[in-house]
Amino acid sequence: MYEERPSPLVPGAVLWRADAPGTVVLPDGCMDLLWIDGRLLVAGPDTGPHPAGEVPGTGFAGIRFAPGAAPALLGVPARELLDRRVELAALWPGAQVRRLAEQVGAYGDPRTGLERLARARTAETGPADPLAARVAAGLRAGHSVAAVAADVGLGARQLHRRSLDAFGYGPRMLGRVLRLQRALALARQGLAAAEVAHRAGYADQAHYTREVRALAGTTPGAYAAGSAGSVGANRDTPQPSGSRTTA
């Protein structure tokens, strides 16, 4: 069982929980703070599919931050966590992390504890760089990297460097990831592949197919078949039982 809901306390964040690891985690430009059987971990940004089950556990909860929002909270550039799942104790003092894990676990729903932890940490570190939200919004809307760079007033190299710190990868890769998420959301609505490709902004259906293979490790048809009839399917996975708990 997997369920998620928007966080009322952390802007742009999503709270989720799962009884078991899902099938696969797909790139979404986000980072998560995880609580797994009393341990705190961080899921970094992904560049490809991650199979579930690499982090064992029987109870999973997480807070998924909007693209670019987690590095300020964690105190670590996103590029250092690219395609990684790491113990929070590898980033923060161990004694502090043990205390925080106990506090999170004391809540009936660990998601509440993660949300309170994130809100308290943000009060200490300050909000994320607003540039990240502007870059993500422009790319999510389908604007070109050049147009986004001009909009935020940065040169190509500066935008790339700032994006590595905020998202883990450059703006071109982030644009591909966000376009993939647009496409998969349309596919879950039952649209034909050609229509998905057109609406999501791909050059053609073949381009869409290549990108799904490259970033999701599957085909549009297989994804649509796995999502068909599911209720509340996680946006990150081709199966309704998936989550960002492991990879």
Q: Are 135 and 37 in contact (CB under 8 A)?
A: no
Closest residue by Cα to residue 176 from 26, 24, 42: 26
* Residue range 130-220, CATH number: 1.10.10.60
pLDDT tens across 53-103, in order? 667 788 899 999 999 999 999 999 999 999 999 999 999 999 999 999 999
Distance, CA of 208 to CA of 220 (rounded, Å): 8
Q: Is the pLDDT of residue 17 over 70?
A: yes
Domain boundaries, the chain: 2-125, 130-220
Distance, CA of 183 to CA of 134 (rounded, Å): 21
Distance, CA of 22 to CA of 47 (rounded, Å): 18
Which distant-in-sequence residues (6+ apart) come within 8 Å of 28 by Cβ? 46, 67, 177, 181, 235, 236, 244
CA distances from 101 to 17, 167, 200, 240 (A): 16, 26, 40, 28
Which helix (H) or strand (E) is 25 found in, with range? strand 24-25
Give the model's pLDDT for residue 130: 93
Which helix (H) or strand (E) is 61 found in, with range? strand 60-65
Residue 106 class from Cβ within 10 Å (0-12 exposed, 13-18 middle, 19+ buried)? exposed
Q: How confident is the model at residue 21 (pLDDT cuts 50, 70, 90)?
A: low
pLDDT tens across 191-216, in order? 999 999 999 999 999 999 999 999 99
Task: Report how far Cα 170 is from the mean position of its chain's Cα atoms.
Answer: 15
Distance, CA of 233 to CA of 223 (rounded, Å): 12
Q: Is the pLDDT of residue 233 over 70?
A: no
pLDDT tens across 142-156, in order? 999 999 999 999 999
